Structure formats: structure tokens, C-alpha cells
Chains A and B, each alone.
Chain A
């Protein structure tokens, strides 16, 4: 009778590929149990001593002592399209046993039928609100601790928690995120459904209530879940990148962030080139040029003047070389200048040094003492 049903249920729970109605039935059971725990705190949840766990009042105190909710019974009852009546229905064991027998035959059909309605029904009847994941956790623990159930129901719940843990383990392997972990602690269908609803439903937290998230039945759950996991991974990585790239705390959105990252990487690469050019110039020309002037020149420049120093030195030394090298560098990494970042500064400065090189080409070497000031002014212009 019922045991057969329960064993069937436990079998289905153990299998990961549950059918949709079964999953939703289990979800429904979760909701019911949560609500039972919430609403029946003053009411004793006592174990059904009998071999057949009895279906006692589900919602509200007027139904008498609340006991373990049997999903099948609920489904069965809901399948008869009498949810409202059911609320006030004084349930006794034997009566239900009879009706149960009758409705056992098409359990799936009943489940199927009632699932589409239960969500809406429950919304109105039970006045459910959104539940946070930690609440679900608490509920799970509470359930396991407070409800001392009869044999059959306990088996069912145990099977479900086992299935939940299994699903949780399977999913944690891939993700390892706290949010999704907590999500998968609930039954699989809850997480799958709520994965869609998370973004839509707002969360209301009250310390005493356990709110159930609004859910609509979703057909293709695995895809949405995988996509959600992928999106969360991406956002996590974008956050890490945000820490690395300076000045992008204000920028939200993937496109803007990617733009900033691209600019930053380009500027870093260009800086490497500039510095290596500088080292090359310094190493090769350390004997040729008066070394005293260069520290003075360099010291006049502003603090963030890695690049202008770089552009400045070859500019003074060898104009063709400077032109060539800067042209190469500019050609390698040309992109429209941005308003922020070193990139714009580097481009503008290198362009200006390019122009300055053509100007200084005609000037004799002895006027170097004059030039630093001019170059310094130019660099200041380039920065502002």
C-alpha cells in the first residue's frame, strides 16, 4: 500500500534521473515539511506509532496535531482538486487510508496534475514567502531533529536527504561555491527551480518564519543550472580581476570591465617595451652622453614619469632611432586613446616626443641644457 509507494519513492530518489513530476512532488513535500515545522511548533510533532504513518493535519492548528506530511497523501488529495477544502478537512487516519487506496492508482497523474496547481495554490493558501538558503539549512536540521517519524516516512526522508547529499556532492565537485552549496543542500528540484527564481524573487527575511521561495515548474533544468554555474564562475573571476586592475571599482558590467582589462594589459606591455628600450639605450650609450645631465632631467619629471623618461631619453639621443622605435611600438599597440589610464598618457607622450624629436633634430647638442625645460613643459601638457 503505502509502503510500496514509499519504496518506490525511495527508489526514485536514489536514482538521480528522477522524472519531473516526482521531483516536483518531492519539492512539494519539502515545502510542506517546512511549513509544518513553522506552523506547528506549538503543536507536537509526534511519531506515528502505527505501522502506517498517518496523515494528520497539514496546515493550521485547526487540523489537530501536526505530524509528518506524507507527500503522496497530499498529492492525492490535491489531485482531487479540493485544496481549499483540504485545509479545513479534519483528517483522520482510516478515512484517509481509504481515499488513499483509491487514489494510489494514478499517483503520477495526480502528482502531475497537482504540481501545476500547487505552486499557485500554496502561494495563496499557505501565504508563502521567499526562503533564504540558510533557512533551508536550518529547516533541514530542524526537521531531522524534531520530527521523530515513523518507519516509512523516516525512510522516505532519509532517502531524500541521501539523494540530496548525493546531488550536493555531485554538484559541489564542479562548483565549490558557498551559494550553490547551500542551494544544493535542498532537494535537487528546489535548487533547480530556485536557480531560475533567485534572480527574480526578492528575499524576505524574518527570524521566525521560514519562507519558501516561489517557484514555477521548469522543464529544462540542467541547462539553466549549468548556465547559472558558469555565470557565477565568470563573475567571480571578474571580481578577482577587478582587484588586480587599478581603478575599476566603479565600473560595473562585463563589457566595461573587459575594456579596462584590455587597456591595462596593453599599457603594461607597452611599459615593458619602453623600459627595455630604456635599458638598452642606457646600456649602450652610457659612455657617449654626459651622464650628469640625465639624472637632472629625469629628476625634474613628475613621479609617474616612467614613460616620459623613456620617451625622453631616446628622443634626445638619436632621433631616427627614437622615431623608429616609437613608431614600432606605436604600431604594435595602437588603439584609440582612453580617458583614463596610463595608456592615454603613453600615447600622447610618445606622440609629443615624436614631434619634439623632429623639432630638436636641428638643434645642436650644446643646447641640451635648454631642452629639458621645454620637454618638461611638454610632458606636463601631455599629462593634463
Chain B
């Protein structure tokens, strides 16, 4: 994965989303309520995750899982979320039970934690999980870098 292209893709998407958010919710003259800021924060975070996942497309399991999660985030599609969770659980239990035969006990506890952290990591064996984690960390650092720059520029404004 070429980091510079990932960065540029992510940056363009994220800035686009950011401008859309800012344009959509004009800043009120009075001090915005806490809920408003929190909502905006959620939107920005979602925009960041979404743009990152879109930059990676469906090449990675975690990006697919993130996109799926973002799409079915709304309350009306809770059923879909439940369905996916149950499917993921069955797959993960199958994969985990198959893999646990060979794994030592200490490794599985952390592996489970890692699975919870990395999106889409529930249904993967340790080997692929480590791959996904490495790519996820790379993308997270890119995301942070751009968010930081954005924050600096918006701070100076």
C-alpha cells in the first residue's frame, strides 16, 4: 500500500466531508450547546473513519467491516446489525475453536481483545488478524496525521 496515495485519497475525502459538515450546520452566533458539539464531533469522527475506509476500498477486511458498520449504523437497521453480529459470532466461534486447538491459552485472551479492537477482526484467525492489525495501524497513523494538520489549520483560523 502506497502511503502517499492513501494519504492523498484520505485527505481529499475527509476535507470534502468536513466542508460538507461545516456547510450543513452553520455556526450559530450563540455558543453552541454541548449536544451540538458532540453531534458535530460524532459526524467528524464518522467522516474520518468513512473516508479512511473508502480510501482503502474493500481491499482489507477491516475497511469492509467499517463500511458495513457505518452503513447499518442507523436505528432502523438494527436488525441487520444483529444479523451480522450473529453471523460473525458463529464464524468467529468456528474459527476460534479451530484455531484454539493449536493456540496456547495466553495468546487467545489478547487475540480476543485485538479482535474487538480491529473492526472486522472477529472472524479471522490470528495470522490474518495480525496482517489486518498492521495495515490498520498504518492507516490510523495516516488518519491522525491529517487530523492533526486539520486541527492546526482550523486553530490558526
- Of the residues B22, B126, B133, contact of A234 by C-beta under 8 Å: B126
Residues on the B chain within 8 Å of A258, using CB: 107, 110-111, 113-114
Residues on the B chain within 8 Å of A317, using CB: 31, 37
- Of the residues A269, A272, A328, contact of B147 by C-beta under 8 Å: A272
A238–B106 CB distance below 8 A: no
The yes or no answer to A278 lying at the interface (CB within 8 A) is yes
- Quick one: which of A297-311 are within 8 Å of B by CB? 298, 306
A269–B34 CB distance below 8 A: no
The binding surface of chain B is classed by DSSP as helix
| Binary per-residue interface labels of chain B (1-40) against chain A in the complex, 1 for a CB within 8 Å, 0 otherwise | 0000000000000000010011001010111111111101
A272-B45, A275-B148, A282-B151 as given contacts; A265 in contact with B134, CB under 8 Å: no
- Of the residues B25, B27, B127, contact of A286 by C-beta under 8 Å: B27
A272–B34 CB distance below 8 A: no
The yes or no answer to B136 lying at the interface (CB within 8 A) is yes
Segment touching A, from B74-82, B86-94, B138-146:
B138-146
Chain B interface, number of residues (Cβ within 8 angstroms): 52
* Cα separation A244 to B154 with both chains bound (whole Å): 29
A255–B107 CB distance below 8 A: yes
The binding surface of chain A is classed by DSSP as helix
B107–A237 CB distance below 8 A: no
B137–A237 CB distance below 8 A: no
| Binary per-residue interface labels of chain A (253-274) against chain B in the complex, 1 for a CB within 8 Å, 0 otherwise | 0110011011011101101110
The yes or no answer to B65 lying at the interface (CB within 8 A) is no
B140–A284 CB distance below 8 A: no
* Cα separation A223 to B19 with both chains bound (whole Å): 57
- The 5 A-B pairs at the shortest CB distance, nearest first, are namely A321-B34, A258-B110, A280-B41, A280-B40, A275-B147
Q: A234-B126, A286-B154 are in contact. List 5 more A-B contacts (CB 8 A).
A: A237-B127, A262-B110, A268-B141, A277-B44, A277-B45
14 CB contacts below 8 A, A to B, read A237-B127, A244-B134, A244-B138, A245-B137, A255-B107, A258-B107, A272-B45, A275-B150, A279-B151, A281-B41, A283-B40, A285-B37, A287-B27, A288-B31
